[in-house]
Amino acid sequence: MILFNLLLRLFPRAFRESFGVEMRRLFVDQHLEARRRGIAATGGLWMRTVTGMTATAWRERREGRRGGFGRMRVLETLSADLRLTFRMLIARPLFTALIVAAISIGVGGVATIFSGLNALVLRPLPGATDGDSLVGIDRRNPDFSEGVSSSVRFYEHLRDSSRSLSGVAVWSRVPLTVVVGREAYSLSGNIVSNNYFDVLGVRPTLGRFFDPGSGVRDAAEPSMILSHATWLAHFGGDPSIVGRSVAVNGRPYLVIGVAPAAFRGVFTPIRIDAWVPLSTQPHVHPQRDLTDQAWLWTFGRLQPGIPTSQARSELATLTTAWTAAGRDGYVRYTSIRLTPLTGLPDDARQALLGFGAVLLGAATLVLIIAAANVSTLLAMRATARRREMGIRTALGAGRGRLVRQLLTETLTLFLLGGFGGTLLAAVGTGALERLPIPADQGLSLELSPDMRVLIFSLAVSLAVGLLFGIVPALRSASRNPVTLLKTSSAGGGRRTLTTSGLIVAQMTCSLVLLTTAGLFVRAVTAGASIDPGFDARNVALASFNTRAYGYDESQGRAFYLALRQRLESAPGVEAVTYADRTPLTMSNSGGTVTVDGSGPDGKERKQMRVEVGIADSGYFDTLGIRLIAGRDFAREDVSGNGAVAVVNETFVRRAWPGLHPAGVVGRTIFSATRPVTIIGVAADSKYSTIDEPATPFVYRPQAQRWDAGRTLFVRVTGDPAAADRTIQNAVAAIDPLLPRITVTTLTREASTALLPQRVAALVTGVLGVAGLFLAAIGLYGLVSYGVALRLREIGVRLALGASRGDVVRMILGQGLRLTMIGTVLGLIASAFATRFVAAYLLNVSAMDGVAFTGAVVVLLVVAVLAAVVPARRAGSADPLIVLRTE
């Protein structure tokens, strides 16, 4: 439907306004009917609609434009060219369909990747007004390597002092529990400054947004804004919701408005269900404050006409002045970076751009293969059309006119392919959106192509068409008509050479794609075989946040204790624990500790950067991590008693080289100035990512610090997915009003660690197959063509006593020679190209022998298959018939 809407856009506005709705309705009916009749009918309908609509739209526009006198002549020749072109294309439907399909595949790959990148990092924020003037504001250290969030005071400073920005706003994430009737729902909320919607230029669908005039510390009745989807899902789309009170985290909040459907927040991949103002912080986010703590994301809108660089230097000056005056503790962060506000934080944006560039490179290879393929087909047809060109030249057609006609044909084919590619991209992005990505937040990916993608696809198609079409066009039109008319068939040597070159290029590109895909597949298997140091099997997990349930600290502790006790006595449960993070989900939190007695004399002090995790008793048992020395956390390790910690082996090696783990139990380390006693040493495991280097890690007991958010881990005897019921029942038994929680398994969550490799293996694999398929067709076409040209020679050879085997070997050899050249070039190109993907390969070498050998074998097998069919046909020719007909 997107493509159809884009096609509609081609019509003049007046036409669209009178008939657009009806046209869309008609197409929907036709589409339904075609779908009933099968895939062929649907394809036919699309083909007919795309060509018909483009042609009529163009005619409509031309009629509307009548009167522009100067352009008339050009338009007339163009229209004559186009009419001729359409006739040529329709006269050979199979040829046209084949070429359009090849270009569609090539453009489709590029368009799919571009569409995904466009949706995630390029296009301005969906739902916002004039998104190009919105900037993300990032407080950084002078070399931009590290950043810090904004505090409320810092935000107010920027908001009140900046002259180059018309507005500055902040936001952060906060979990909310909303009770509607007797049901409770977990919502993913944003806590935002009052001017958030005004700075973004979002208008409410219903009611109003927060009052930008009131300050963050003004006491007022807490209010809330619902997302469009939440309003529909939980409140039945009832407009009377505005002005009603609903219970949020145990307190009444006034619903004052509903956001428009198109607006999905500033961080678009994560679903947002509701917004609350900063003034609700003491209730919904009590561990933060409204003064100096840094916890807010910042963005602003540039004043009209102010360039980003000017705004950046002004904000940097404001920040330097702020730190120089000693207004907060983040003295190292004196600079500012401004980034386009596109729905992703800048770091993720850069990472995704890098990853996307690799995939885009792979897709470009397929496009080159497709274009080379089409070029070969066009060159073959040009040979067939030499007579036509000769006649037209003889009748007085100028060379320019012929070149223009040929180019019009090629470009029309590529334009049709561009549309086809966009259609494929709509399908492809749909598949990408459905990739299973485990996440503790509801995701909302929206990657479908928009106008920008269509324009991009058409531009790419035209550029490639021009690049690959101009040479054949010039050459076809350049011949002397007399020679053209005299020789009937048999192509010149130069043309076959070009064609062979194009086949070699296709083989080269295919091999690069295959090796890349092979490397990613190897990376996935290698990653899966890395021992993470814990046992993910039979572990179910679920995340909780008791603050979102309206509990204070003592209620929260009681809840977690009760839940644990209930689960421990449940059937089929082996062990239960809590932790602050799930391993291998790319989450981490670091800290610095001071280690005593690290020197040989036991006097030296040293600072160490470590990763810190919070775990409850039974953690090592539940996750199957070996305790090498000392003991696990126990019930008596509570806040009142001395602080304790369990460290890992790497910590011991770094802190006290040469010391046996058993020897460090009882030693003291310092977190800031607080002494912490080491009570145990755990085996190393993987914490954040599967390919991380050995990291010094410190576990601290949950009983010694309160945090409302925890993740529950339950080791069961059977299938962990079946633990869902057990956990839900236990939660409901403690408090029936709690929202339904999401239970997943550790195996599933930890698979996030290999997500980039999986996506890359999938995408390059699909592209590799598409590329290889196109290249095989190209080779098949060339060999068949060669057989057709040499049929006479083959007949003579057979008549003179050559065996059929000799003929097959001869033809096959011709095809395979090209493949071998392509293979050698492809291996060289691969060795160069795979360096760009080395960063994503875990511990697989970029020159991995298995991947390279596998790719070569696949390429050779497919090439032999593609060449053997026409070769056998040549071998089975009857010399008598051949010689008689030729």
Would you tell me which residues interact with other proteins (CB under 8 A)?
7, 11, 15, 18-19, 22-27, 29-30, 48-49, 52-57, 59-60
Backbone conformation region of residue 305, classed left if phi is above 0, alpha if psi is from -120 to 50, else beta: left
Closer CB to other proteins, residue 11 or residue 210? 11
Q: From the CB of 68, what's the least distance to other proteins, in Å?
A: 21
775 closest CA partner among 410, 514, 466: 514
42, 136, 166, 197, 673 from 131: Cα distances, Å:
38, 11, 13, 13, 47
Closer CB to other proteins, residue 30 or residue 525? 30
Closer CB to other proteins, residue 11 or residue 697? 11
Measured in degrees and rounded to the nearest 5, phi and psi for residue 244 equal -95, 160
Q: From the CB of 53, what's the least distance to other proteins, in Å?
A: 4
Distance CA 478, CA 69 (A): 32
Distance CA 835, CA 827 (A): 13
Q: From the CB of 16, what's the least distance to other proteins, in Å?
A: 10
Work out the widest C-alpha separation in the chain, in whole angstroms: 105
Task: Name the 3-class secondary structure at 167.
Answer: strand
| The pairing of beta strand 134-140 with beta strand 590-595 | unpaired
Q: From the CB of 419, what's the least distance to other proteins, in Å?
A: 14
Q: What DSSP string runs through 560-613?
A: HHHHHHHHHTSTTEEEEEEESS-TTSS---EEEEEESS-STTS---EEEEEEEE
**Quick check: 172 and 191 in contact, CB under 8 A?**
yes
Beta bridge partners of 543: 711
Q: From the CB of 35, what's the least distance to other proteins, in Å?
A: 14
Closer CB to other proteins, residue 67 or residue 396? 67
Beta bridge partners of 77: none
Closer CB to other proteins, residue 10 or residue 734? 10
Q: From the CB of 556, what's the least distance to other proteins, in Å?
A: 52
Closer CB to other proteins, residue 22 or residue 636? 22
197: Cβ contacts below 8 Å, ≥ 6 apart? 204, 209, 210, 225, 259
257 closest CA partner among 278, 243, 272: 243
Angle at 601 between CA 649 and CA 591, to 5 degrees: 40
Q: From the CB of 408, what's the least distance to other proteins, in Å?
A: 21
Closer CB to other proteins, residue 49 or residue 598? 49
Q: From the CB of 228, what's the least distance to other proteins, in Å?
A: 24
| Secondary structure of 862-880 in HEC code, one letter for each residue | HHHHHHHHHHHHHHCCCHH
Q: What DSSP string runs through 601-616?
A: TS---EEEEEEEEEE-
Q: From the CB of 48, what's the least distance to other proteins, in Å?
A: 5
Angle at 420 between CA 416 and CA 426, to 5 degrees: 150
Q: From the CB of 96, what's the least distance to other proteins, in Å?
A: 17
State the CB neighbour count (10 A cutoff) for residue 799: 12
Beta bridge partners of 678: 645
Backbone conformation region of residue 302, classed left if phi is above 0, alpha if psi is from -120 to 50, else beta: beta
Closer CB to other proteins, residue 41 or residue 827? 41
Closer CB to other proteins, residue 52 or residue 237? 52
Distance CA 253, CA 699 (A): 39
Q: From the CB of 91, what's the least distance to other proteins, in Å?
A: 17
Closer CB to other proteins, residue 24 or residue 283? 24
Beta bridge partners of 646: 680, 699
Q: From the CB of 439, what's the least distance to other proteins, in Å?
A: 39
Q: What DSSP string runs through 682-712?
A: E-----S-TTPPP--EEEEEGGGS--SEEEE
Closer CB to other proteins, residue 25 or residue 660? 25
| Secondary structure of 56-75 in HEC code, one letter for each residue | HHHHHHHHHHCCCCCCHHHH
State the CB neighbour count (10 A cutoff) for residue 446: 15
Closer CB to other proteins, residue 18 or residue 641? 18
Distance of CA 634 to the CA centre of its chain: 44
Helix (H) or strand (E) holding 743: strand 743-745
Q: From the CB of 90, what's the least distance to other proteins, in Å?
A: 14
Closer CB to other proteins, residue 57 or residue 88? 57
Q: From the CB of 56, what's the least distance to other proteins, in Å?
A: 4
Backbone conformation region of residue 417, classed left if phi is above 0, alpha if psi is from -120 to 50, else beta: alpha
Q: From the CB of 2, what's the least distance to other proteins, in Å?
A: 15
Distance CA 842, CA 522 (A): 10
Closer CB to other proteins, residue 15 or residue 551? 15
Closer CB to other proteins, residue 52 or residue 142? 52
763 closest CA partner among 501, 529, 517, 440: 517
State the CB neighbour count (10 A cutoff) for residue 800: 8
Q: From the CB of 462, what's the least distance to other proteins, in Å?
A: 22
Closer CB to other proteins, residue 53 or residue 536? 53
Closer CB to other proteins, residue 29 or residue 878? 29
| Secondary structure of 67-120 in HEC code, one letter for each residue | CCCCCHHHHHHHHHHHHHHHHHHHHCHHHHHHHHHHHHHHHHHHHHHHHHHHHH
**Quick check: 686 and 599 in contact, CB under 8 A?**
no
Q: Which two tokens stand for residue 332?
A: 């190292």
Q: From the CB of 450, what's the least distance to other proteins, in Å?
A: 21
Q: Which two tokens stand for residue 374?
A: 């089409």
Q: From the CB of 6, what's the least distance to other proteins, in Å?
A: 13
What residue type is assigned to position 309 of the chain?
S
Q: Is the dihedral of CA 472, 478, 484, 485 positive or negative?
A: positive
Distance CA 886, CA 475 (A): 28
